[in-house]
Structure 1
Amino acid sequence: MDTVKASALLSNLKELNRTDIQARLEAEQTNFKHKVVVLDDDPTGVQTVHGISVYTDWTKESIVKGFREENRMFFLLTNSRGFTSKETKIAHEEIAQRVQEVSEEEGIPFILISRGDSTLRGHYPLETETLKTTIEQQSSTVFDGEIIMPFFKEGGRLTINNIHYVQYGDDLVPAGETEFAKDRTFGFQSSHLGEWIEEKTEGAYTKENTIYISLDDLRSGNSDAVKQQLMSAANFQKIVVNAVDYVDAEVFVTALLQALKEGKTFLCRSAAALTKVIGGVSDKPLLSRDELITEDTNHGGLIAVGSHVQKTTEQLNELLASGLVTPVEFDVHLVLEPEKFEAEIKRVRTTCEDLIKQGKSVVYYTRRERLDLGENKKEEELQLSVKISDAVTSIVRDLEVRPNYIVAKGGITSSSIGTVGLSVKRAEVAGQIKKGIPVWKTGAESKFPGVAYIVFPGNVGTKDTLKEAVEVLEGK
């Protein structure tokens, strides 16, 4: 594995006066009239924000509510990382049509951010290509460029010299050499973002014709120079943004707002850092137990673990070793035997209910070995994984006792539990329980109104972070 030391790569970066940078950004934001609409392919995209609405559908009614909010930004949860390509295309056509329609009716311009995984997985370029095509067909808009910015500091996702890295301690591993690049549905090879774009678009866009916003550009503090690069974009040209800290995002967003005000049009494909900065969301301390659990039920909490990435399994093992919770393993390989699978679902649910009623917190987790159908079975495996996800979700949906809190581990798991299991239509992001781990406060329409719902990404934190989050919730 081709690792480099973070300290070596970052030691020579010029320091900026962040107070000045933020003042310039705030000045640009005060007369920025666009609504920022974030399409989130799983619920973890809110991992940097608070006081922001998440709508779990994309009905016209929800989009109108989002446009009419005082907040500059709102999220639409698509859950498209769990969709087939066909489902993804249909969803993004519907969203683009409705957002454009509401924008015209309300007289409010908008910028769309397709929030994707900071380790580069997801339906790219399908999502942004569909948004671009649909909006251009429906309006006079012509998109000049697409901004690619997977930087996410809280998760250690840094872009340096156009190479995207995943940080492990002081080691930076190129994204294309991590387990995430081996994803069975969304795998890739390239770590250089220009090459990644070329790989994903099958050569339709090349690394040579990509605009690169370098760390030197950003650390000069000169947003005008960055703006000029943005002003030169044409024909949906790709724009790669390097970043290792929030100050880089702040300089970039200042330039982006200036370019938008001068009439340039962009779509964004980004991780969660860009949304925080463009949305003008302030920093907030991590949430305390008193802020999280406002209605103590004397019941145990419930933790659902669906993600199979290595980091999740390490975190699950640390939680199990701590003795904080009672484990219930869910043998999801029985999905191949429908009757046995139904009996297993019922066993897991009733066991969880009994423990929660006794005041014991419980973690139910899918069997850790992946179900492998063999070569060239991607779509079949995705369909089976949806059945498994539905079963994991049904445990919460059919639960007959209110847990003291709910944690869902993994993007697809947390999305389906939030939308289907808890029937959330709109939630407010309360903040984070640990860095990069957001908490929803569920709405009045949900199965358990006001419960603290912790949306825990599969690929965030150290091996101890899940255990530490549960310790907060348990008051340990």
Structure 2
Amino acid sequence: MLEADLLAGYPPEVEVPAAEVAAVVAAAGRVLVVLDDDPTGTQSVADLPVLTRWEVEGLRWALEQRAPACYVLTNTRSLDPEDAARRTREVVTNALAAAEGLGVRVGFVSRSDSTLRGHHPLETDVIAEVLEERAGVRTDAVVIVPAFPDAGRISVGGVHHTRGPDGTVVPVAETEFARDATFGYTSSALAAYVEEKSGGRYPAAEVIGLDLTLVRGPATGIADALDAALEGTTGSTPVVVDAVTENDLRALALGLAESERRGRTLLYRVGPPFVRARIGQEVRAPLTATEAYAGTRPSDGGGLVVVGSHVGLTTRQLEVLTDGHPATVVEIAVGPLLTEEAAAEVDRVVASVVGALADGDVVVHTSRLLVRRDDPAESLGIARTVSAAVVEVVRRTLARRPPRFVVAKGGITSSDVATLGLGVRRAVVRGPMLPGLVSLWRPVGGPAEGIPYVVFAGNVGDDRSLLEVVRVLSRRRS
């Protein structure tokens, strides 16, 4: 279907200045704590603190930055449900303690994948439970906004789509993302998706929908609709929302802020750009090389590109990069990693990478044949084994030959490279390397301080996007 046909009959978008939303946020005086289930959620924001650990002290540091939001990298998409729930509980508990100590009001956002992969509704369930147990706060609704217009994910008529070529749109359940080994699903209609993922606990018929006509109307209309729909419900009612543009997200932000001003307690399960719109942040232009390296002392060697994602788009991006940029390519063979040959394989890769960085950029990637099992838990275990090897390569490389920059491709890969490979505990999101799609972090303290770190999701951009990012950061502008 053409996107134009999908939108026929809906009103045009209404321009909403970011400053209007920012003023409402400032008046409310609340900080959003964003639990990001992999590090790629920062791709749409700039100048916000990021934590990869969640001790009270670190959360206090993040809240002391006086930013309207802060991110906590939970990486729960790489965990089984039990561990994901335990980690979510720890983060919320410690965030509440840090906020109470500083006298700061906080709200919570569960940031996940715009293609609907992740632990849902588990994570928002846990957040709501902790809020009620620790703060006596009862959650009225969980607002679900997976739209990511920059990456071609839009929701219209309660159905989530991804943009295809030539102005077409495809229901997301018909894409490769819905066949994910761990988080697969069958429903593109968001209400049906909620029913599917909740095992029927939230029937589709009881999920509230805010369609595009309502989103593009007055902000009070959204608040009125929520008031009417939530009257008499028992709490944590799912609310699915249409959005196609940044203006839609900003209009929604104003309506949700009005609902909260009236006393509603809302949690959010969202794609990356929601936070930008919700805090009234302007869309930042991509960073230049000068901006990316500001305040750093880059090494005179090459940069390191680490590719772990196996989605088709990443594989194409890798091919374009290796064809179009002068870099040494080192493959980590996955097969040996699953045998007693794992240590030898890691030794081989580290030696190759360290030697090549003296002369230029190095691309390290896992073999493109994805090893998976019918059992989701087994598939996740294999992914962890491979990720551990990638981390060891990065950690040992950093100790022997710090790279000029690091780009990590893939959600779990980006998280593990940051936290375990580079030892990043605190960072500041500098801004995007591509419009709203790929973020650059400035590590604060630790062994990677001074090394620009690029977090690049596996499922965003076009075939040339990885090449374009590396060209900006490389000494050798191919």
TM range (shorter): over 0.9
Is the contact made by 2:195 and 2:201 (CA closer than 8 Å) also made in structure 1? yes
Alignment of 1:57-456 (within 5 A): 57-169=53-165, 170-220=167-217, 222-232=218-228, 233=230, 234=233, 235-293=235-293, 294-338=296-340, 340-358=341-359, 360-373=360-373, 375=374, 377-399=375-397, 400-435=400-435, 436-445=437-446, 447-456=447-456
455-464 or 65-74, larger mean C-alpha shift: 65-74
1:207 is displaced (CA, Å) by 1.6
Structure 1 residue aligned with 2:2: 5
* 1:344-403 Cα shifts (integer Å, max 9, x gaps): 111111101101012x21101101111134x3x221221221111011011111111011
* 1:117-157 Cα shifts (integer Å, max 9, x gaps): 00000111111111111221223211100000001111111
Structure 1 Cα separation of the partners of residues 455 and 473 of structure 2: 13
* 1:56-96 Cα shifts (integer Å, max 9, x gaps): 11111111222222111100000111111111011011122
Structure 1 Cα separation of the partners of residues 13 and 412 of structure 2: 38
Q: Output the aligned Cα RMSD.
A: 1.5
Is the contact made by 1:60 and 1:98 (CA closer than 8 Å) also made in structure 2? yes
For the structure 1 residues 323 and 64, does the alpha-carbon distance in structure 2 shift closer, same or farther, using more than 3 Å as the test? Answer: closer
Structure 1 Cα separation of the partners of residues 93 and 19 of structure 2: 36
1:12 is displaced (CA, Å) by 5.3
Percent of aligned pairs with the same amino acid: 32
Structure 1 residue aligned with 2:48: 52
Structure 2 Cα separation of the partners of residues 94 and 466 of structure 1: 35
Structure 2 Cα separation of the partners of residues 283 and 323 of structure 1: 29
For the structure 1 residues 319 and 357, does the alpha-carbon distance in structure 2 shift closer, same or farther, using more than 3 Å as the test? Answer: same
* 1:295-348 Cα shifts (integer Å, max 9, x gaps): 34220111000001111111111112214322111101212212x111111111
For the structure 1 residues 172 and 17, does the alpha-carbon distance in structure 2 shift closer, same or farther, using more than 3 Å as the test? Answer: closer
Structure 2 Cα separation of the partners of residues 337 and 189 of structure 1: 35
* 1:181-220 Cα shifts (integer Å, max 9, x gaps): 0000000000000000000011111221111111111222
1:263 is displaced (CA, Å) by 1.3
Structure 2 Cα separation of the partners of residues 367 and 204 of structure 1: 40
For the structure 1 residues 346 and 23, does the alpha-carbon distance in structure 2 shift closer, same or farther, using more than 3 Å as the test? Answer: closer
Question: Helix, strand or coil for the counterpart of 1:184?
Answer: coil
Structure 2 Cα separation of the partners of residues 348 and 168 of structure 1: 37
Consecutive unaligned residues in structure 2, runs of 5 or more: none
Question: Helix, strand or coil for the counterpart of 1:398?
Answer: helix
Question: Helix, strand or coil for the counterpart of 1:440?
Answer: strand
Structure 1 Cα separation of the partners of residues 455 and 325 of structure 2: 22
Question: Helix, strand or coil for the counterpart of 2:427?
Answer: strand
Is the contact made by 2:332 and 2:365 (CA closer than 8 Å) also made in structure 1? yes
1:224 is displaced (CA, Å) by 0.6
Structure 2 Cα separation of the partners of residues 286 and 96 of structure 1: 32
Structure 2 Cα separation of the partners of residues 147 and 387 of structure 1: 35
Structure 2 Cα separation of the partners of residues 179 and 163 of structure 1: 17
Is the contact made by 2:307 and 2:408 (CA closer than 8 Å) also made in structure 1? yes
- Scaled by the length of structure 2, what TM-score is found? 0.94
Matched residues, number = 466
Give the residue type in structure 1 aligned to 2:212. L
Question: Helix, strand or coil for the counterpart of 2:313?
Answer: helix
Question: Helix, strand or coil for the counterpart of 1:228?
Answer: helix
For the structure 1 residues 299 and 74, does the alpha-carbon distance in structure 2 shift closer, same or farther, using more than 3 Å as the test? Answer: same
411-420 or 126-135, larger mean C-alpha shift: 126-135
Structure 1 Cα separation of the partners of residues 441 and 258 of structure 2: 33
1:8 is displaced (CA, Å) by 2.6
Segments of 4+ moved more than 6 angstroms: none
1:416 is displaced (CA, Å) by 0.5
Question: Helix, strand or coil for the counterpart of 2:206?
Answer: coil
1:289 is displaced (CA, Å) by 1.4
Is the contact made by 1:211 and 1:229 (CA closer than 8 Å) also made in structure 2? no
Give the residue type in structure 1 aligned to 2:276. K
* 1:397-436 Cα shifts (integer Å, max 9, x gaps): 1111011111100000010000111111111111111120
1:11 is displaced (CA, Å) by 5.7
- Scaled by the length of structure 1, what TM-score is found? 0.95
381-390 or 265-274, larger mean C-alpha shift: 381-390
Question: Helix, strand or coil for the counterpart of 2:394?
Answer: helix
1:455 is displaced (CA, Å) by 0.5
Structure 1 Cα separation of the partners of residues 26 and 307 of structure 2: 42
Question: Helix, strand or coil for the counterpart of 1:249?
Answer: helix
Is the contact made by 2:337 and 2:389 (CA closer than 8 Å) also made in structure 1? no
Is the contact made by 1:47 and 1:437 (CA closer than 8 Å) also made in structure 2? yes
1:444 is displaced (CA, Å) by 2.3
Alignment of 1:463-474 (within 5 A): 463-474=463-474
Is the contact made by 1:167 and 1:173 (CA closer than 8 Å) also made in structure 2? yes
